[in-house]
């Protein structure tokens, strides 16, 4: 009789599967399953509900995964996952999908109730997804996980209450918000404890959102936080940090750059800080890159199952950006996904000088795929699947390679190299101050 083996941590099983790499992560869904000591006489029709779910997961992967997987490879991956779940060796006797499905039905017959059958289907599906390369990127999502993803991409933090953080009510005036922020900031800075620093970060985030009428309205209506921070460092230098890409980022770029566009011509330098940007809504990149490189320009490529797809910009130059003749783009090893694509485009089109360290090399594009076959009325599952890789200008995947800076701050005398680009000591000093400061 098959049992579901209980583990509490992710484990790698060293197997060698051509095209799929050499490891199996145990499912995050895996919970303890009671010892099974009896057979059931559940009908074939009821068993097929769970098999239909597993088969649909398989088909969605085969149709949409970034790499091609043949029948032998996918069957072997599934067999190894079943072995781990049941703690029963299966050998190499199963070679086809038909044989695999018969084996799964046989396993389901040995489980005494629907709860355990559902758990088996969930664990097996999630383990298969987690062990597609890159490992751990593709997963089986519950309704809650999908909602959390939507909130992350939209830059919504359901746990944060910015009004409470500042100690004001929702009807507080701009002056009251500013006063509350200043009072809390001074008090927390004077306290100087780790707890005070954590609280200060919450106060800073609250002030950033509520101090501007436009971002405050977005927060009041939809709970959306701004994706940008900005400040005028000097009459010459404008600093703009992009923390992530969300559906509002393009509009924020327009709004933020307009705030300083009434300055005189001395304002000609932009420091664009992408450090720590984890990416986000890559669908907006053709609109976001246009203001930097112009309309209908080749921006980037996706790779899926051996075929590449080209993407062009869909917006033109942004007038409020054309004043900046000197552009420095800061990157680090935490920059990933769509932010890496942006860094690569800026580098290729000589929009600015990339300064920092090589980016993370997280070059996957994930998408949520709904499932028609569900296991019960109490939960709704979907597939979070890597369906494309992003390619660098040189044709290499960003995945595992990253984007290299033009000036690496790990090198000695990088400041002199930056000076040679712009012949501007104020800019060099400002960049040095920013990169040496604690994030």
At 394-421, the pLDDT tens digits run 999 999 999 999 999 999 999 999 999 9
* Mean model confidence pLDDT for the chain: 90
Say if residue 21's pLDDT is above 70. Answer: no
Confidence of residue 14 (pLDDT cuts 50, 70, 90): very low
CATH 1.10.287.110 in the chain, residue ranges: 156-223
Say if residue 31's pLDDT is above 90. Answer: no
Confidence of residue 438 (pLDDT cuts 50, 70, 90): low
Say if residue 12's pLDDT is above 60. Answer: no
Class of domain 156-223: mainly alpha
CB atoms within 10 A of CB 130: 22
User: DSSP E strands: which ranges in 11-148?
Assistant: 139-141
pLDDT at 23: 44
Confidence of residue 223 (pLDDT cuts 50, 70, 90): very high
CB atoms within 10 A of CB 308: 12
**399, 304 contact by CB (below 8 A):** no
Say if residue 214's pLDDT is above 60. Answer: yes
Alpha-helical segments (H) within 294-410: 338-348
At 182-201, the pLDDT tens digits run 999 999 999 989 998 999 98
Q: How far is CA 84 from CA 11, 14, 56, 97, 266, in A?
A: 10, 12, 21, 19, 65
pLDDT at 48: 87
Q: Measuring CA to CA, which residue among 98, 73, 108, 78 is closest to residue 90?
A: 78
CATH number of 227-436: 3.90.226.10
At 306-364, the pLDDT tens digits run 999 999 999 999 999 999 999 999 999 999 999 999 999 999 999 999 999 999 999 99
CATH 3.90.226.10 in the chain, residue ranges: 227-436
Q: Mean pLDDT over residues 376-387, rounded?
A: 96
Alpha-helical segments (H) within 223-294: 249-259, 285-293
pLDDT at 26: 46
Q: What is the DSSP letter of 367?
A: E
Confidence of residue 135 (pLDDT cuts 50, 70, 90): very high
Say if residue 8's pLDDT is above 60. Answer: no
At 243-261, the pLDDT tens digits run 999 999 999 999 999 999 9
Q: Is the pTM of this model over 0.95?
A: no
pLDDT at 192: 85
Say if residue 15's pLDDT is above 60. Answer: no
pLDDT at 38: 37
Say if residue 176's pLDDT is above 50. Answer: yes
**384, 335 contact by CB (below 8 A):** no
Query: Which of residues 433 and 35 earns the better pLDDT score?
Result: 433
**325, 268 contact by CB (below 8 A):** yes
């Amino acid at each position: 009789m098959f049992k579901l083996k209980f583990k509490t941590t992710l484990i790698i099983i060293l197997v060698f599967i051509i095209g799929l790499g050499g490891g199996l992560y145990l499912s995050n869904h895996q919970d303890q399953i009671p010892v099974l000591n009896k057979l059931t006489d559940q009908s074939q029709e009821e068993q097929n509900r769970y098999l239909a779910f597993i088969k649909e997961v398989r088909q969605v992967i085969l149709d949409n995964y970034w790499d091609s997987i043949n029948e032998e490879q996918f069957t072997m991956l599934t067999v190894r996952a079943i072995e781990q779940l049941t703690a029963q060796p299966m050998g190499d006797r199963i070679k086809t999908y038909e044989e695999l499905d018969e084996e799964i039905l046989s396993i389901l017959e040995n489980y005494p109730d629907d709860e355990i059958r559902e758990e088996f289907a969930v664990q097996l599906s999630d383990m298969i997804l987690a062990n597609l390369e890159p490992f751990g990127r593709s997963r089986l999502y519950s309704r809650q996980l999908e909602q959390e993803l939507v909130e992350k991409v939209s830059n919504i933090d359901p746990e944060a209450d910015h009004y409470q953080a500042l100690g004001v009510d929702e009807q507080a005036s701009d002056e009251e918000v500013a006063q509350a922020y200043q009072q809390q900031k001074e008090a927390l800075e004077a306290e100087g404890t780790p707890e005070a620093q954590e609280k200060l970060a919450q106060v800073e985030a609250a002030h950033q959102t509520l101090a501007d009428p436009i971002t405050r309205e977005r927060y009041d209506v939809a709970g959306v936080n701004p994706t940008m921070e900005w400040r005028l460092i000097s009459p010459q230098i404008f600093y703009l940090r992009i923390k992530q890409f969300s559906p509002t980022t393009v509009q924020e770029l327009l709004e933020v750059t307009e705030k300083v566009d009434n300055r005189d011509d001395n304002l000609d330098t932009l420091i664009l800080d992408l450090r720590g940007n984890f990416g986000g809504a890559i669908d907006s990149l053709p609109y976001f890159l246009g203001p930097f490189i112009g309309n209908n320009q080749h921006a980037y490529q996706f790779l899926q199952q051996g075929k590449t797809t080209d993407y062009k910009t869909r917006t033109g130059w942004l007038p409020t950006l054309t004043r900046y003749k000197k552009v420095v783009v800061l990157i680090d090893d935490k920059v990933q996904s769509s932010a890496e694509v942006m860094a690569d485009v800026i580098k290729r089109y000589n929009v600015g000088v990339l300064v920092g360290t090589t980016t993370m090399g997280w070059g996957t594009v994930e998408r949520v795929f709904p499932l028609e076959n569900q296991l019960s009325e109490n939960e709704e599952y979907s597939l979070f699947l890597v369906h494309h890789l992003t390619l660098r200008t040189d044709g290499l995947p960003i995945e595992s390679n990253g984007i290299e800076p033009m000036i690496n701050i790990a090198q000695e005398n990088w400041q002199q190299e930056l000076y040679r680009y712009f012949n501007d000591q104020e800019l060099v000093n400002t960049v040095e101050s920013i990169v040496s400061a604690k994030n």
